[in-house]
Amino acid sequence: MDRHPPPEAGDDHAPMTSEERGAWLYAILVPVTSLAYFAAVVPRLFEQPAAEVSWAVPMLWAVGASFAGSVAGSIVLTVLARGAGAARDVRDREIERHGDRIAQAVTAFGAAAVLALAMLEADHFWIGNALFLIGAVGATWGAVARIRAYRGAFHG
């Protein structure tokens, strides 16, 4: 017995692949963990100089939460989907490359900004946080680009 009946006539909605579910997860998870990090660290700037702000441990927690959340979230979403969705195909690979190109472009631009901070001998706080922010923005934009490609007409 087929658990997933065929789509109705005129219904062009394709089943969501695990890659698309992962993009949605990442597009939500990275901004949430990044905002939590900045909510914990930025208020400290009002109380003490940047050089004295403890930021490394909270940043490691944010990165770890993003990683653990993406692994756990992927497992939960796969179980909830019960195998529903199409198998990975050429379109998925092309969309993944498209999202990666967007993320890499943002990251490359940001790397130039971080390099400039290093050349200006900015405090480690600013260099580390700029790199973290750029990584989060790049990952988020890459995930959003993937979602848009899945939901729109993607012509890789």
**Residue-averaged pLDDT of the chain:** 87
Q: Which domain holds residue 137?
A: 18-151
- Domain membership of residue 10 (yes or no) is no
Q: Where are the alpha helices (DSSP H) in the chain?
A: 18-45, 56-81, 90-119, 124-151
- Domain membership of residue 45 (yes or no) is yes
- Domain membership of residue 9 (yes or no) is no
Which tokens hold the place of 65? 């939460």
117-149 pLDDT, tens digit per residue, is 999 999 999 999 999 999 999 999 999 999 999
pTM for the whole structure:
0.82
Residue-wise burial string across 118-132, b where 16 or more C-beta atoms lie within 10 A, e elsewhere: eeeeeeebebbbbbb
- Domain membership of residue 34 (yes or no) is yes
- Domain membership of residue 146 (yes or no) is yes
Give the length of the chain.
156
Rounded CA gap, 18 and 84, in Å? 9
pLDDT-derived band of residue 1, with 50, 70 and 90 as boundaries?
very low
- Domain membership of residue 52 (yes or no) is yes
- Domain membership of residue 8 (yes or no) is no
Rounded CA gap, 44 and 1, in Å? 59
- Domain membership of residue 112 (yes or no) is yes
35-89 pLDDT, tens digit per residue, is 999 999 999 999 999 999 999 999 999 999 999 999 999 899 888 877 665 566 7
Q: How many domains does the chain have?
A: 1
Cβ–Cβ < 8 Å for 58, 38: no
pLDDT of residue 6: 45
pLDDT of residue 5: 45
pLDDT of residue 7: 45
Residue 30 has pLDDT above 70, yes or no: yes
